[in-house]
Amino acid sequence: MQHTKSYIKGAPSRAIICVSDGTGITAEILSKGLLTQFEGINFRQMRFPFVDSPEKAMDCLQGIRDARRMDGVRPLVVMTMMNPEISAILRQEDAHFLDLFDAFIAPLEKELGVKSAHTVGRSHGQTSHEYTNRIAAISFAIAHDDGITDSDLANADVILVGVSRSGKTPTSLYLSMQFGIRAANYPLIPEDFERDHLPDTLKPFRGKLFGLTIAPEQLHLIRQERRPDSNYSALDTCRQEVAAAERMMRREGIKWFDMTSRSIEEVAVQIIQAINSKSRPGYFG
């Protein structure tokens, strides 16, 4: 069980139970988004993925009952179930149900004038082409992590630059994994700042460079985890590197994004927007 926010002493406790006949990732993402809207309650999240048989539904039903007894209030149950017979089993318990498919599938059937397939697991398949493309993008991101190799940068869709631990690696990987984008990343290091120009390797690719930056205080905390009490992690070093990197990016006309109060997902989507803004403002895809 996982508390979705930090625990508030004395506040009431409430279970939020994500149930799906698939991975439950959709239910989980939605429930996190919804719960951030409510303060003063200690939510704890439970997950029941792959509930695709009456037996598994009975286990889950027991989980809902236990949670109810423990908290003394109705649990919230976020469901993405294709099979109405299985969701009916869960609905025997007195809980607050948020049923994603129930809310949207019936109105969609009417709008589209066709019946839905109501089959299980269909959303989890992927075409071989999509899969292959994603795998290739991930391999590319790993091969071009942290400036490991200069070769093949011409085939990158984007090249992220920034100081060490500014978030380049996770952002590159997220871009490749979620969107199949070939993202290389290249560190800006003290030597670059001394020479006061971009690494030569990057110069031919100015059009696909994007920068990441981060508040020096946060960078300091992240670097402390890696090499505690070193010159590398000293707050003063972080301040100097971040200032020098931002100066260089500004001068070179590299658009950059601040990771300080943004998630990896958010910056990744902003980068995609920036890539596409030249051709079709407002959307990408």
Under a CB-based contact definition with an 8 Å cutoff, are residues 35 and 95 in contact? no
**Which of 136, 150, 204, 206 contacts a second copy by CB under 8 A?**
136
Count residues near a second copy (CB under 8 A): 93
Find the shortest distance in angstroms from Cβ 111 to a second copy: 5
CA dihedral of 110, 112, 113, 116, whole degrees rounded to 10: -80
Per CB under 8 A, the list member of 117, 191, 231, 278 interacting with a second copy is 117
Q: How far apart are CA 148 and CA 153, in angstroms?
A: 11
The angle at the Cα of 117, spanning 90 to 81, to the nearest 5 degrees, equals 20
Q: Going by DSSP bridges, is the β-strand pair 96-99/76-80 parallel, antiparallel, or unpaired?
A: parallel
- Residue in 213, 259, 212, 211 with CA at minimum distance from that of residue 239: 213
- 193 or 284, CB closer to a second copy? 284
| Residues 57-86, mask of contacts with a second copy (x by CB under 8 A) | --xx--x----------x-x---x-x----
Nearest distance, CB of residue 2 and a second copy, angstroms: 4
Identify the three-state secondary structure at position 233: coil
Near a second copy in 156-195, by CB under 8 A: 165, 167, 169-170, 173-174, 177-178
Q: Tell the smallest beta-carbon distance from residue 192 to a second copy (Å).
A: 22
d(CA 115, CA 155): 43
The yes or no reply on residue 275 touching a second copy (CB under 8 A) is no
Select 140 or 248, whichever has its Cβ closest to a second copy. Answer: 140
With CB under 8 A as the contact rule, the residue among 22, 147, 162, 211 that binds a second copy is 22
Separation CA 121–CA 23 (nearest Å): 9
230 interacts with a second copy by CB under 8 A: no
